[in-house]
Amino acid sequence: MSNPTGRRTAVVIGAGIAGLTAAKSLSQAFDTVVVVDRDELPDGGRPRRGVPQGQHSHVLLVAGQRALEELFPGLGEELVAAGAQVFDSGADLHLYRLGAAWNPVHSGQPFVSMSRPLLEYTIRRRVQALPNVTVRPNTSVSGLGGADGRVTEVLLDGERLFADLVVDTTGRGSRSDRWLAALGFPTPEVEEVKVNVGYVSRIYRHTPGDLDVKAAFVQPTPPAEKRIGAALLIEDDQWLVSVGGWHRDYPAATEDGFLAHAESLPDPIIAKLVRQAEPLTEPVAFQYPANRRRHFEELTQVPAGYLALGDAICSFNPLYGQGMTCAAQEALALGRLLAEHEGVTADLARAFYQEAAGVLFVPWQAAIGGDFDYAETAGRRPYAAELFGRYSTQAQLAAQVSGEVRKVILSVQHLLASPMALWEPSLTAEIVRAARHEPEGAQPQFGHGGHGRPLWTVEDRDAERIRAALREAGLAEFSDKAPGFAVEGGAPILVARLDGGDRGEYVAPITAAGFTAAADPEDPTLLRVTA
């Protein structure tokens, strides 16, 4: 009997995290799901050729853990049984950033740490156990076939797989642009932000007492510093240690180069571990040239029967650890849309790309916003990056001493909360107070401004005057509920219009308040204001 929704067979190209999570969602909507991958897929948690980052540090954000648990109930317990480590992301992680180690705080957000191969193998076993899913290793794809606005088959060497839906999860090197163009379909705009990141990784034996934490991240203070280091406790009583940096400031894959880079970091914790722990593997290098995003959501014409997912849509700077989480969230979105749509139509594809764009919006802005802390970064800078970058810096300075701020930052970083949570009035006051690192009980130099926040500098006071002038002119202030204007103290003071309107209407009230406002030459959302 034919499937009345036209969902007989789905083919997934790629058996990585994105492909396996997509296969799970598809298995609930299609009679048969076939997953093909060009690699030999190893038994056990061993690295494989098609995942070049497999031997390096991977972070599965808490939001990603929750998405995987929704797709594969009990996965977390299975990973822990296989040796994965669980720790509190605020209390058991040593974090050094912006020149200081952050005070630990109990976040209540358990974090699961394991190697990428163990995670992939555990998920793959779950997928292979599904009765309507077949995983075919050592299978290369040469192209797609289709007609009349629809992709209908996957071309293999000497074989054709007919499919009602093809999902491409082949990563940043996806050949989908070429495949779709060969069928006469338009291809998406490709956006790149060049970062030239690289790092070298090595596994060490864990022995009790070598560190009093289960993970350590040492991050630079841009733009003067570019080097980074990470140590994660993983399965089999092992440390996975990576050192590297932005814009080619990374070491050679040698023992001496690895140690020298670790010792050059602004915090000694990684170097201490490297000097005293027993190495179990040789150093392995990885380079990553650019964030890369294909804007499928902007296409007016998309084929029915084809979707890209995971890194085939968007590949992030891996130093931010967002890729696996976004892939799992996209797979969940695909499952929801399959339940809402009948058939496999172009409308389904358009709806999916809009959902995926929503998943990617915050992590993409965060990643490339952070990368633009360096003048060498090349690409399209996000709107209001300077304003939000400065506020983010203040929030992170505050988090060095304020547990309240650190908890919110952790929720934002793990994609559990919107970045707008950092702009809640009560938290803004705490950020301004704690970022100054003033002695407890010290009186602010210029009293308190809007929302009771303390004013320590002339720029703080003038920013408050500008905010008051804009409000009195009837203009909406930015909040966690709606866009509007945002004002950031500094020299010059920055005013951003975040609702898409003409920033010019801000000039008159700012001028009337005694300031000079000029358009920012680089960012169309910004005004630069001086007293």
What is the per-residue pLDDT across 369-410, written as a single tens digit (0 to 9) for each? 999 999 999 999 887 777 788 888 899 988 888 888 999 999
pLDDT tens figures, 167-215: 999 998 889 889 999 999 999 999 999 999 999 999 999 999 899 899 9
Q: How confident is the model at residue 2 (pLDDT cuts 50, 70, 90)?
A: very low
Strand blocks (E) in 157-237: 159-162, 165-168, 190-205, 215-218, 227-234
pLDDT at 1 over 80: no
Strand-pair partners of 118: none
Instruction: Give the three-state DSSP class for 44.
Output: coil
**H helical segments located in 372-484:** 385-399, 403-413, 425-435, 458-472
Q: Report the distance separating Cα 2 and Cα 4, nearest Å.
A: 6
Q: 524 preceded by cis ω (within 30°)? A: no
Average pLDDT of the segment spanning 434-460:
76
CA angle 146, 152, 155 (to 5 degrees): 80
CB 525, CB 503: distance < 8 Å: yes
C-alpha 78: how far from chain center: 25
Residue 434 has a pLDDT of 83
pLDDT more than 90, % of the chain: 66
Q: Report the distance separating Cα 326 and Cα 415, nearest Å.
A: 9
CB 133, CB 125: distance < 8 Å: no
Q: Report the distance separating Cα 227 and Cα 241, nearest Å.
A: 14
**Residue 39 or residue 429, greater confidence:** 39
Q: Which residue has the tokens 């070298």?
A: 200
Q: How confident is the model at residue 89 (pLDDT cuts 50, 70, 90)?
A: confident
Closest CA to 312 of 180, 195, 175: 175
C-alpha 58: how far from chain center: 12
Amino acid present at 392: S
- Reported pTM: 0.87
Q: How confident is the model at residue 14 (pLDDT cuts 50, 70, 90)?
A: very high
- Read off the tokens for 225: 């510093």
Residue 136 has a pLDDT of 97
Residue 231 has a pLDDT of 97
- Read off the tokens for 479: 């909040």
Instruction: Give the three-state DSSP class for 477.
Output: strand
Rg (CA), the chain: 25
What is the full DSSP assignment across 339-394?
A: HHS-SS-HHHHHHHHHHHHHHHHHHHHHHHHHHTTSTT-BS-PPTTHHHHHHHHHH
Amino acid present at 445: Q
Q: Report the distance separating Cα 429 and Cα 202, nearest Å.
A: 43
pLDDT more than 70, % of the chain: 97
pLDDT at 137 over 50: yes
Give residues with Cβ within 8 angstroms of 475, minimum separation 6: 484, 485, 505, 506, 509
Strand-pair partners of 265: none
Average pLDDT of the segment spanning 225-236:
96
pLDDT at 268 over 60: yes
pLDDT tens figures, 462-503: 888 898 899 889 888 876 567 788 888 778 899 988 877 788
pLDDT at 59 over 80: yes
**Residue 450 or residue 318, greater confidence:** 318
Residue 402 has a pLDDT of 85
Positive or negative: CA dihedral 14, 15, 20, 24: positive
Q: Report the distance separating Cα 349 and Cα 308, nearest Å.
A: 9
Closest CA to 61 of 296, 249, 327: 327
Residue 497 has a pLDDT of 85
Q: How many other C-beta atoms can be found within 10 angstroms of the C-beta atom of residue 36?
A: 21
